[in-house]
Amino acid sequence: MNKKKTPKRNRIQVLADMLEASVDAVPPTRISGTANVTRRSFKRHLDGLVSRGFLRKIKLDYSERFLYQTTKEGEYVLELIYQLRDTFGEALW
CATH number of the domain where residue 39 is located: 1.10.10.10
- Has residue 91 been placed in a domain? no
* Number of Cβ atoms within 10 Å of the Cβ of 22: 28
In tens, the pLDDT along 48-68 reads: 999 999 999 999 988 889 999
- Has residue 46 been placed in a domain? yes
Structure pTM? 0.85
Q: What one-character DSSP code corresponds to residue 60?
A: -
In tens, the pLDDT along 5-18 reads: 666 888 999 999 99
- Has residue 42 been placed in a domain? yes
Q: Could you list the residue range(s) of the whole structural domain that residue 73 is in?
A: 11-86
Q: Do 88 and 30 form a contact (C-beta atoms < 8 A)?
A: no
- Has residue 93 been placed in a domain? no
